[in-house]
Structure 1
């Protein structure tokens, strides 16, 4: 996601790997992700190899609506069905759509796609950003999307290799390399619990009957001068990461991480001027 969101955690798009955090926390992270990555999300919607502008789009695992709103802007004659298992995410999406004057072009649908596949009509475009790796049976979901799409329709899958990085390699001063150690522990956790994160979706799309027409990888490096939201995004992301990896870290690393997360302390990540969000996203465009 979100649009290219790395933090979604609800089924049906976002299965339940919440690690003790509330939907409010997830919604905030999704909103921050959308803000920081808005230009990159727009570039992906522009890249889509559509034969003609779709009139009906489905956003699978829409989160709080970054992809939905970008698609509405890219295709001004389209309507979007936004699907997520989280009522809170969908409520936030509707608020954004109303604020943006596009509420009449959005239909929200709460559904757990691992349980019952809803009636989504015959969309010309299905968009799934940072959601496919959460499916309990991704191959089944891909076949369902293939059956749902209109003939000649396009399926856009956007996925991430891992969580974004924010700190310089030598940071923090009292525990250089801390962020990489946190990510290594997080990768081990997700290899067990979310095994399809970082997968090559091309062969799976082909096996489901799609023709993969294009693939694109974007590398993102954005500093605080470009987006003031990066500090808050780093804070929320590291808080969530701590909930997953604390037991796998040394006591010294946990203490150093807690100093970064102490918003009132002198070492708070919010006080750092050297933050930059670094991440990578890969997108596949597949035709029915």
Structure 2
């Protein structure tokens, strides 16, 4: 998902102080994380799309906060007759999505729309059979208002699939790195404090929020992720890109010794690069809700 706020480690947005970063550089860094997230977690994403409680295969899907297309392409694979409208605030992400679509021969099934989901008036998105919102709603200033707009979009048998993060991925064992054990948890604690201030809906129980928006929850499940570096060749690159995003958010609040240890981990060319560690694993959880009008 992309949104006017500053993008987050691995899943859309963080809200750290990044004045030293150029917006285009930041956008590209976020896109790299989103692409790696889609690559490494592809099987888990497919499991979510397989689970969706639908009465019939959707013909029109709207992907809200599509980012670089993780959900869009998973849904196209799952529903080979569907067409998808991918909505995002970032023109760079939508360009990347379109380039992927052309490379895969799928451009004819995808339309892209640049829009701010916090806006009072959304563009005309038709009457979709399925609305997919992955790691996007918790960034909004007023998610209930946005979800009411989703309710109004849906046809009589339409379904909303809301996917949210229980937390950002962890990669290191608890006793790593040797000189600063527990470093990763302290980094996450620092970003959690920032998110508590700027993204209060992250980690929320979305059942009551969906109900408040006039939707009825029809299904809920948790998806646990635990993928060792030995199981997927891109885990190291995913860890490197994610920790770089975390560093950009948390640098000003970290202990100097922790920051120095983190800098060694995110130095791609250094001997202590996290990408070179054989003991990595992606550990996270995602929560999924299905809802109808």
TM-score, L = length of structure 2: 0.92
Q: CA deviation at 1:6?
A: 4.0
Q: CA deviation at 1:270?
A: 1.6
**Cα pair 2:157 2:292 within 8 Å, conserved:** yes
Which of 130, 135, 140 does residue 140 from structure 2 map onto? 135
**Cα pair 1:6 1:130 within 8 Å, conserved:** no
Distance in 2 of aligned mates of 1:231 and 1:167: 11
Q: CA deviation at 1:7?
A: 2.8
Q: Is 1:261 equivalent to 2:266 in the alignment?
A: yes
Structure 1 residues 96-135: Cα deviation after superposition (integer angstroms, max 9, x where no partner): 1112221101000011121231111100100000000011
Q: Is 1:65 equivalent to 2:69 in the alignment?
A: yes
Q: Is 1:272 equivalent to 2:280 in the alignment?
A: no
Question: 4+ runs of 1 displaced by more than 6 Å?
Answer: 15-18
Q: Is 1:107 equivalent to 2:115 in the alignment?
A: no
Distance in 1 of aligned mates of 2:32 and 2:237: 10
Which of 162, 165, 168 does residue 167 from structure 2 map onto? 162
Distance in 2 of aligned mates of 1:143 and 1:128: 13
Q: Which residue of 1 aligns with 2:101?
A: 97
SS in 2 for 1:22: helix
SS in 2 for 1:233: helix
Distance in 2 of aligned mates of 1:216 and 1:249: 35
**Cα pair 2:10 2:242 within 8 Å, conserved:** no
Distance in 2 of aligned mates of 1:17 and 1:64: 22
**Cα pair 2:60 2:82 within 8 Å, conserved:** yes
Q: Which residue of 2 aligns with 1:281?
A: 286
Distance in 1 of aligned mates of 2:144 and 2:205: 13
Instruction: Tell me the number of residue pairs that the alignment of Structure 1 and Structure 2 aligns.
Output: 281
SS in 1 for 2:230: coil
Distance in 2 of aligned mates of 1:65 and 1:45: 14
Q: Is 1:222 equivalent to 2:235 in the alignment?
A: no
- Unaligned ranges ≥5, structure 2: 3-8
Which of 56, 60, 69 does residue 60 from structure 2 map onto? 56
Distance in 2 of aligned mates of 1:159 and 1:57: 18
CA change 1:128–1:17 in 2 (3 A) is farther
Which of 27, 30, 36 does residue 26 from structure 1 map onto? 30
Structure 1 residues 15-66: Cα deviation after superposition (integer angstroms, max 9, x where no partner): 9878335111111110000000000000000000000111100000000001
- Unaligned ranges ≥5, structure 1: 10-14
**Cα pair 1:162 1:187 within 8 Å, conserved:** no
Segment drifting more, 237-246 vs 19-28: 19-28
Q: Is 1:195 equivalent to 2:164 in the alignment?
A: no
Q: Which residue of 2 aligns with 1:75?
A: 79
**Cα pair 2:139 2:201 within 8 Å, conserved:** yes
